[in-house]
Structure 1
Amino acid sequence: MFNLLSIMIGLVALLLGIVPFLPFLAWGYWFVIPIAVVGAAIGALSSSNSGRNLNLVLILIFGLRLMLGGGLI
């Protein structure tokens, strides 16, 4: 159950992360990354790893995009 909830949170974070991918909107990742962190925390409570891994990949991609834009030093 926790894995399914984590995957759902990850999909919401993924959908919300599409808009900040555009130029000059990368500051939106400051709002999306905490959602993925919550999803990863819930996924860590599950016996399966797919939800946690999805959220960790999203955190990595969004954080990298934020660093490339100069928003994370």
Structure 2
Amino acid sequence: MLNLISILIGLVSLVMAVFAFIPLLGWANWFILPLALLGAGIGALAIGKTGRNLNLLVIVIGVVRLILGHGIL
């Protein structure tokens, strides 16, 4: 059950991260990363690894986008 919740949080975060790749919307990653961290924490408590891994992927994507946009763009 926790893995399913983590996967849902990860999918929502991933969709939001895709929109944050639009120029001048990179600041949205500052709101996406805590959500993905929450999902990764819930996924760490679950038996399965899928939800945790999905959220870790979203975190990496968000951090790379923040680095490319210098934290603002």
TM normalised by structure 1 equals: 0.93
Paired residues for 1:16-55 under 5 Å: 16-55=16-55
1:67: how far off? 0.6
TM normalised by structure 2 equals: 0.93
How many pairs does the alignment contain?
72
Name the residue aligned to 1:65: 65
SS in 2 for 1:36: helix
Ranges of 4+ aligned residues in structure 1 off by more than 4 Å: none
Q: Unmatched 5+ residue regions in structure 1? A: none
CA distance in 1, matches of 2:64, 2:17: 13
One-letter code of the match for 1:19?
Answer: F
Coordinate RMSD, CA, aligned: 1.1
Q: Unmatched 5+ residue regions in structure 2? A: none
